[in-house]
Chains A and B, each alone.
Chain A
């Protein structure tokens, strides 16, 4: 997030797009509710009537995968109505002229034809955000899990730049990160393009720095993404080490994924449980987890906080860093003689410019948000206040692109996927916590009541849902939360492996899977279960 969580109580106009915040980031959503109680207005753009809509002044029920069109239409209106922040454009941005010329053709009527939101609503939303003193954008995977995820994010940046809604309290471009330490995973360099602290591996100076630190030659080339690695499994990729990820259940295109993992010569997995992925491994290491491990994690607002051990792990389970470093030592790798988590964190701080001012003792109370460039620096709750790291904010000229797969006669329904409040990912944890089943015990497919009738199925009956890659059987729930022609389910229940269906395409720049859009065909399932349901 560009801004701290506490800023969520400060905007006068909130624009949420592709974020089901009341279910996926409930505690953050409480801050938006407070802002609204204090008079803030909220626009929610989402195909579904999600929980946030209840608190919103405007709901833009766009067709799945059409975000870029909606945002171009809004930019058009903001430019046409002269709601741009001229001073900000002049002082802090570049390519503004080209951008303002570019958006001229993308009228709300044009956008409406693509995104199915009435042009008047696009106008109103643009005017509301464009006239805000403090307009803040919040988004989640509804923006990024598309073949045009980067385009979508850049479209949001364009809106914030043209209205000067960045670098001030209560504004910003704020992605809500989905996992407890997904921010940290990138920060520490567990990505193919960057060393710790977002230092590009392709920069010879960074290469030299890390070769010096670690005493060996390191490629100047980027690595490959996980998506590519799974494609190359059994071919160029022969072995994998997977830490704490149930790849088989949470990645798209399960059949492809299973084939990939099975075609490896050797697979090592560290996890808390014998997950579906661990079951394919040659060696499984038992990891310690929440309440058992000392360490640090970094949240969505870049805040580094301490994790503390409250109880010993079960049996012989060990912290991930211990497992990986002992394995490294057995393989003859140098520099892995850590004796506690503190050693690892302090090495990270010594090599990362964003964590340079931190060490184990300084993160004791969790008051620092990176970047913390040197000791004594107070941290940076709000990014871009005085300037952009790269100099100026660059407008990007975005054009709308269709999703990788679109509905047709054979697959006439849009499926979109997400999370639910009470379950988390593949339920390895929430599914093993007592009481959660009382609130959520099975997966359902959310279908608009009129579609339920039109498709000849029944509320509570079972259907077969098929995409170009596979099929699952799932129980129907009639609800107006889904718009007509679009259905929703989560990917949490292994008995309804939705990732059998998804995986039609990937963003060409980030390799992020298009998990939010998947055309499907739905038909009644003639099974014993339906007979039961009929009785």
Chain B
């Protein structure tokens, strides 16, 4: 359309349209250009810290960070070139050389493989720049949820930014500068003594596994592959979409659904960490019926269904169909509530049904 005249840029020679307010990176991403990043999380303000997303803009003296440079009409951009690839590789080698390890388990967090993936993609040599390593880990923090292995920190500040921008919690911050940079809490204390709410967003955005999901990592040794099943949190009414991680039949952890319509990647401490009631030994595994001595004892489904049907029918037969009342759950799925109300309406012709919304 004529309105769009001039509202295009040239990406690797191809003319493409863009919207006002878009960065070069955003336009390139829409057009499936695979520009590497480490400090980028599309939910956060672009930071421009890692410099891996550099691109060449015709007329510019040096490559620019595509995540912080706005697209402008007529720009001619190269997202890939020999010198860009060399630049990215050297940067990666510098970053990775001071990390203790690159192989981090996927259970660590949603973004935990980003560093490793790039190292593989660029065949970056992890020991090229020998020397001191920065970052002091906090094995003294006894919290059961968040690994604080800062020796693997690359100072991308995604954790600090997600805590501030996404959560509004401002629990963690940056101390010192340059090589001495350290992610820390106020006064350098434990997370529990900070304003941390243990929502787990920092571990999900960390690209190196410096921050990791301690509960999930307990299952590193289990041989089976990780499977992810998309579902919805079982606690409050916000309806956060999440991925349930399983190894075999074991639920090993939870990761937020970054495209969850209600939560857009966010979770709280309950949705993130309070999942293992699923396998708790207290779970009921068989029906129970009350025996002649008044004790609840295990029973087969047949016995239990027969006894329940007989008991409920006895009340109905003796005292009428309005003597039976059903209470549905605000925790169970729609199918549970629907079947419950149909039970009284189609079964007894009453509306003697309610749910827990009044208390």
Contact = CB atoms under 8 A, between A and B. Distances in A.
A interacts with B: yes
Interface of A: 5, 22, 24-30, 33-34, 36-37, 55, 145, 176-193, 195-196, 201, 210, 214-219, 221-227, 229, 236-245, 247, 250-252, 265-266, 268, 271-274, 278-279, 281-287, 289-293, 295-301, 303-312, 314-321, 324-328, 330-331, 333-336, 338, 341, 344-345, 347-348, 366-367, 421-422, 424, 428-436, 438-439, 510-513, 515
B53 interface: no
Please provide the 6 A-B residue pairs with the shortest distance between their CB atoms, ordered closest to farther: A315-B285, A299-B239, A244-B329, A295-B333, A33-B168, A177-B237
A286 B285 contact: yes
A311 B249 contact: yes
B277 interface: yes
B334 A424 contact: no
A330 to B, nearest CB: 4
A322 B236 CA distance: 24
Contacts of B306: 330
Contact of B331 (A181, A281, A319): A181
B336 A315 contact: no
Contacts of A219: 349-351
Contacts of A298: 239, 334
A498 B10 CA distance: 66
A301 B262 contact: yes
Nearest to A419: B236
Nearest to B249: A311
B179 interface: no
A324 B165 CA distance: 46
A438 B63 CA distance: 49
Interface string B328-359: 11111111111111111111011111111111
B324 interface: yes
Q: From DSSP, what is the main secondary structure of chain B's interface residues? A: mixed
Contact of B358 (A226, A317, A428): A226
Given A185-B329, A268-B311, A344-B339, A223 B282 contact: no
A232 to B, nearest CB: 8
A179 B356 contact: yes
Interface of B: 142-145, 165-168, 192, 197-199, 215, 227, 229-241, 244, 246, 249-251, 260-263, 266-271, 273-280, 282-290, 296, 301, 304-309, 311-316, 318-319, 322-347, 349-359
B308 A327 contact: yes
A190 B145 contact: no
Contact of B332 (A218, A244, A316): A244
B251 A284 contact: no
Contacts of B237: 25, 176-183, 299-300
Contact of B284 (A29, A30, A284, A366): A284
Contact of B309 (A145, A314, A331): A331
Nearest to A182: B330
B273 A436 contact: yes
Contacts of B244: 291, 308, 310-311
Contact of B351 (A221, A251, A272, A304): A221
Contact of A335 (B249, B318, B346): B346
Given A333-B346, A434-B215, A178 B276 contact: no
Given A30-B166, A241-B312, A511 B145 contact: no
Contacts of A291: 229, 231, 244, 246, 251, 275, 278
Contacts of A240: 324-327
Contacts of B341: 188-191, 195-196
Contact of A223 (B215, B229, B276, B350): B350
Contact of B277 (A320, A331, A429): A429
B340 A241 contact: yes
A443 B313 CA distance: 42
A319 B335 contact: yes
A273 B283 contact: yes
Contact of A316 (B238, B251, B286, B342): B286
Given A237-B323, A298-B239, A320-B336, 19 more contacts: A25-B236, A176-B238, A177-B236, A180-B232, A181-B332, A182-B237, A214-B345, A266-B315, A285-B284, A291-B244, A300-B238, A305-B239, A314-B283, A328-B342, A330-B305, A333-B346, A348-B335, A429-B274, A433-B277
A431 B354 CA distance: 26
Given A185-B328, A245-B356, A310-B229, A195 B345 contact: yes
A511 B358 contact: yes
Contacts of A216: 346, 349
A422 B270 contact: yes
14 contacts: A27-B238, A189-B345, A244-B329, A271-B284, A289-B278, A295-B335, A315-B286, A318-B301, A320-B336, A336-B346, A421-B269, A422-B270, A424-B236, A435-B145
B255 to A, nearest CB: 12
B305 A284 contact: no
A320 B330 contact: no
A421 B305 CA distance: 38
B335 A283 contact: no
A237 B325 contact: yes
B239 A180 contact: yes
Contact of B233 (A24, A180, A319, A328): A180
Contacts of A285: 284, 287, 304, 308
A424 to B, nearest CB: 5
B353 A192 contact: yes
Nearest to A307: B231
Nearest to B274: A433
B100 to A, nearest CB: 25
B312 A239 contact: yes
A86 to B, nearest CB: 35
A428 B338 CA distance: 24
Given A26-B268, A236-B322, A328-B347, A282 B289 contact: yes
A247 B331 CA distance: 13
A185 B168 contact: no
A333 B343 CA distance: 8
B140 to A, nearest CB: 15
B172 to A, nearest CB: 16
